[in-house]
Amino acid sequence: QVQLVESGGGVVQPGGSLRLSCAASGFTFSSYGMHWVRQAPGKGLEWVAFIRYDGSNKYYADSVKGRFTISRDNSKNTLYLQMNSLRAEDTAVYYCAKDPTVTTGDDAFDIWGQGTMVTVSS
Amino acid sequence: DIQMTQSPSSLSASVGDRVTITCQASQDISNYLNWYQQKPGKAPKLLIYDASNLETGVPSRFSGSGSGTDFTFTISSLQPEDIATYYCQQYDNLRLTFGGGTKVEIK
């Protein structure tokens, strides 16, 4: 079945780095745009980044621009989020999510992973 | 960025009640509005896309309406399994933002 599985979360000190991965299965990964969305403990949802199906364009929330980099390897059906210069306010569950519209989609999330927790603390 | 004001932040209703949640955009977003359900400890689930279209497999008691700046999400007859937090989400030129959420509880 269609599935997304995140990994790579953990505890990191402020200023540190972490790379999240999201393994996709059950659909043609290379045909869909992919997002990262995060949720701080007890808080609402915040869109983080988007990458087009072919990696040609990437978009970021202002809160992470210049610090986070989204990428994908379509040969490995895997999405990544490289997080640098981490801050306490980046502490959250990070979800990868698939856009529902093939190739051109960039505006919704129809399949979500289970999430991976990132804690930024000294 | 476009701000989404969702209300109420929480509500308590009885099984069988009609439940309505509103979402107001800070500027015109046409019908670029989606609704999600998030149960405790779980990832969100897409319920409604493009303001009024029911996602495949979602029960017909869920519906959405609106355009421009004002949107409404309705559960026509609240069921125990509908206990969750609901979020609206707009998309404007790859600047996606969510409303603050509405926590729905059973009275």
C-alpha A22/C-alpha A6 separation (Å) is: 4
Nearest residue in chain B measured CA to CA from A95: B43
Q: Which residue has the tokens 């540190």?
A: A16
The string of pLDDT tens digits covering residues B31-89 is: 999 999 999 999 999 999 999 999 999 999 999 999 999 999 999 999 999 999 999 99
**Which residues of chain A lie closer than 8 angstroms to B1, CB-CB?**
62
The string of pLDDT tens digits covering residues A38-90 is: 999 999 999 999 999 999 999 999 999 999 999 999 999 999 999 999 999 99
pLDDT band at B13 (very low <50, low <70, confident <90, very high): very high
C-alpha B74/C-alpha A88 separation (Å) is: 37
**Which residues of chain B lie closer than 8 angstroms to A112, CB-CB?**
43-45
Cβ atoms of residues A84 and A74 within 8 Å: no
